[in-house]
Amino acid sequence: MPQDRSLFYEFKKGLWQDIPPFRLLLGLCPALAVSNSAINGLSMGLATLFVLFTSNMVVSLIRRTISAKVRIPAYVVVIATLVTVTDIFLAAVFPAISKALGPYIPLIVANCIILGRAEAFAQKNPLLPTAMDTLGIGLGFTMSLTLMGVIREVLGFGSVFGVKLLGSWFEPWIVMILPAGAFLVLGALVALVGWISSRKAAREAAAAEPASH
């Protein structure tokens, strides 16, 4: 594989340029389902980061051994194993979080980001770039879910990570902790990130224009 991109680029692209779910629009299910509080968003993000990182490392290691025809089932076995590990680990060590996230931890298996990165990146790249790529994407996902959780928790409960932030004058927006609130916040953030990106692209294009002529 030609190494035309730096390792740092592989890491950093997941934090803004390809940040899930706002830019990739992958992993929407957990983003909608478990972002109703900051702690839920953070733990879901970290659990996904762990599975993403470890499973893609394995995929990268076995990428030459696996026949192309059966690669998807093979990846799923790897991912499912690691998800089970995560699920059991959380249930044993953080029972409260495990209970709050419920079926969404086992459902990490179905998270398109993980299979998506395995298909798009890990199966074509050696260990180190894969590690950087998945760490970046995973951290980006964790940041996104935490941000959604913070927004929804502030508006829906008036608190952040369970700490009361807004006084009794604030009438909580119940809608924010309902599924409808997840769609509203996700839509608003996708629009915001897209808007900032397009402005940035326009600025860079404008800056590049006089230099080329």
Q: How far is the CB of 196 from other proteins (least distance, A)?
A: 14
* Cα atoms in the 13 Å half-sphere on the side-chain side of 54: 17
Of 135 and 189, nearer to other proteins (C-beta) is 189
- Do the beta carbons of residue 18 and residue 107 sit within 8 Å? no
| Interface pattern 81-120 for other proteins (x via CB under 8 A) | ----------------------------------------
Say how far apart CA 81 and CA 118 lie, in whole Å. 15
DSSP letter string over 163-179? EE-S-TT----GGGGSH
**For residues 136 and 181, which CB has a smaller minimum distance to other proteins in the complex?**
181
Number of residues binding to other proteins, judged by CB under 8 A: 9
Q: Which is nearer to other proteins, 128 or 191 (CB)?
A: 191
Q: Which is nearer to other proteins, 6 or 198 (CB)?
A: 198
Binding mask 158-187 for other proteins (x = CB under 8 A): -------------x-xxxx-x-xx--x---
Q: Which is nearer to other proteins, 91 or 188 (CB)?
A: 188
What is the Cα 12 distance to its own chain's centre? Answer: 14
Cis bond upstream, residue 21 (ω within 30): yes
Q: At what angle do helices 38-61 and 127-157 cross, to 10 degrees?
A: 170
Q: How far apart are CA 115 and CA 207, in angstroms?
A: 37
Contact set for other proteins, span 119-158 (CB under 8 A): none
Residue 192 binding other proteins, by CB under 8 A:
no
Residue among 74 and 184 whose Cβ is closer to other proteins: 184
Distance CA 168, CA 102 (A): 31
Q: Taking the complex as a whole, how short is the minimal distance between the CB of residue 169 and other proteins, in angstroms?
A: 10
Chain residues in the site for other proteins (CB under 8 A):
171, 173-176, 178, 180-181, 184
